[in-house]
Structure 1
Amino acid sequence: MADSPSLTHTLVLVAARDATSLTPVDIRAARDLVRGAAPITLSEGEAVEIACPAPETWDNPDIGALRAVFAGRGLDVLVTPGHNRRKRLLVADMDSTIVNCETLDDIAAHTGIGAQIAEITRRSMNGEIEFEAALRERVALLRGLSTDLLERAWRDVRLNPGALELVRTMRAAGARTALVSGGFTFFTSRVAALCGFDENHANTLLAQGDTLTGTVGLPILGPDAKLAHLERLVKEGGLDMDDAMATGDGANDLAMLRVAGAGIAFHAKPTVRREIASQVNHTTLRTLLFAQGYRAAEFVTA
């Protein structure tokens, strides 16, 4: 009789707590599909992990097919190597990842040109328009408007569920955390302070007095700069890329998602979901902690 495959990977199954909960049937189905070991509960009714063989040894080695089995239940499925799961570096996008909105769109929503700018944002985040050109085009439409719009937009910003837990838990475990955004420093500095990020980087909206000039400071922080910050932080920390987790939702996040040891697409645009295998589509940022093997009892919220 042939030896059973070694359990080199871990499947993590997570339920959207506000809509459903994990059942024994869900857990048994996941275990059977990957020929896994006994499940370990990470959060009762919310998350389990199951040691399993490498995906290429499964009867159907397709993470997309596995994900589809549970999609109708509001469950997310991630499969990670079983070693080095707890990452020592987090690099996160801000808009539609750590916060629940696109902040530039929110600025525009107070001006009557919100729909026009939101459409450019949509096309840029889906990779249909080059990021830098799209940013310049959108910012130009703000020329002559009051800087008070920034404060008004800030009042609409909300952290996504799990953002505080993700950043504070990883920091408490000794990880470095960085917020790296194609948005603006006006927002990243405040979001970083709320969550406890070690550092933040973004673009600068230029103003003359209390009036926006319709221009952005140089150099523009786009996909290449996000990747460069990831590479810098890995080097400064004496780490390997396998020690890093990156998360984001748009095409301008792809460069860093491709190379990070754990690159996770978070409620991402279609072009990102087509390329990045590790995805959170139904649940919250808590899932990025479960993917690292943290139990809910270990989460830090304050």
Structure 2
Amino acid sequence: MTRSHCLTLVVNRAAGTLAAPVIDAAREMVKGAAPVVLSAGEAVDIPCGAPGSGSAQLSTIRAALNGKGVDVLLTRARGRRKGLLIADMDSTIVTGETLDELAEYAGIGEAVRAITARSMNGEMNFEEALRARVALLRGKPEALLERAWADVTLNEGAKTLVATMRAHNATTALISGGFTFFTARVAELCGFAEHHANHLGTDGDVFDGTVGEPIVGPDAKLAHLERLSAARGLKLSATLCVGDGANDLPMLRQAGLGVAFHAKPVVRQAIEQQVNHAGLRALLFAQGYTARDLRDD
């Protein structure tokens, strides 16, 4: 059998180790070759054939390993390392939703969270939802941004993902439906080459309830993917996008490797490649990087 693909298994290091019986079961399902250790106890590659060539589909493997805390990704063996990374920010690079956290300090948390949930699940147009949430901030002090920033926490592996890809000559960009106040700081923390997000309107030292146009939403994220890949002379197959919400779907679908990261149900239903347990290091292992390759700065 031609080993044209790699099945990558990854676990959350904080939750346990990748057990040999799990590896053996996955290998049997894909009729794979001997596993290649990427990170001891954390990640392995199993060289295998293409889906449908006498082996189980990715969804079948994921279902069979349900409850084991294992993420399963399937990629082509050729061209695994991508030359462009585009990442969503909220609930992807950082642990929470920055607008929701800002709203908590503004005393409108419940109302804003409800709109956010509908938008991220694809139940409400993103632009409409953003304008509705920002309108609720009208008259609230701009100083609340600093309080919300103090609560921002990076997801495990965020710095490693960006640093490792940059060390291997990839372009990295943070593209968010959130706000530039946060993306500028997160981009600096992680080392993203550029960042793009929305602008909150202010009147003096308070929010005026508006968001700058045009809004960075699903179409804009896709446009940045196309722009940056063209600038690098890359085919879309050589790109990696990661996100969690419905507004990420257009770019996830078009990327060579589009990964749903701890994503909303509507995204998991649409995107085959998923990380539901591990941190962002999993995106590096899916590209064939080993623990020796990883960088933190």
Q: Same fold (TM over 0.5)?
A: yes
- Superposed, 1:50-89 pairs within 5 Å as 50-60=46-56, 62-89=57-84
Q: Which amino acid aligns with 1:214?
A: G
Structure-2 residue corresponding to 1:21: 17
Match of 1:40 among 27, 36, 40: 36
Structure-2 residue corresponding to 1:178: 173
SS in 2 for 1:73: coil
CA distance in 1, matches of 2:122, 2:79: 32
1:179-226 Cα offsets, whole Å, 9 max, x none, are 000000000000000000000000000111111001001111100000
Report the aligned-residue RMSD. 0.7
Structure-2 residue corresponding to 1:112: 107
CA distance in 2, matches of 1:38, 1:208: 63
Deviation of 1:117 (Å): 0.4
Deviation of 1:16 (Å): 1.2
Deviation of 1:70 (Å): 1.7
Question: Is 1:292–2:287 an aligned residue pair?
Answer: yes
Indicate if the aligned counterparts of 1:120 and 1:138 stay in contact, CA closer than 8 A: yes
Indicate if the aligned counterparts of 1:89 and 1:244 stay in contact, CA closer than 8 A: yes
Structure-1 residue corresponding to 2:139: 144
Q: 1:220 to 1:82 in 2, by over 3 A?
A: same
Indicate if the aligned counterparts of 2:177 and 2:197 stay in contact, CA closer than 8 A: yes
- Superposed, 1:209-224 pairs within 5 Å as 209-224=204-219
1:147-171 Cα offsets, whole Å, 9 max, x none, are 0110000000000000000000000
1:52-85 Cα offsets, whole Å, 9 max, x none, are 011111343x311211222201110000011100
Structure-2 residue corresponding to 1:94: 89
CA distance in 2, matches of 1:80, 1:301: 24
CA distance in 1, matches of 2:43, 2:204: 51
Deviation of 1:135 (Å): 0.2
The range that moved more, 129-138 or 23-32, is: 23-32
Indicate if the aligned counterparts of 2:161 and 2:283 stay in contact, CA closer than 8 A: yes
Consecutive unaligned residues in structure 1, runs of 5 or more: none
SS in 2 for 1:91: strand
Q: Which amino acid aligns with 1:38?
A: A
CA distance in 2, matches of 1:289, 1:154: 27
Deviation of 1:111 (Å): 2.1
Question: Is 1:127–2:134 an aligned residue pair?
Answer: no
SS in 1 for 2:99: helix
CA distance in 2, matches of 1:59, 1:14: 20
SS in 2 for 1:98: coil
Match of 1:168 among 149, 152, 163: 163
SS in 1 for 2:33: coil
CA distance in 1, matches of 2:186, 2:3: 39
Identity %: 59
Indicate if the aligned counterparts of 1:20 and 1:73 stay in contact, CA closer than 8 A: no
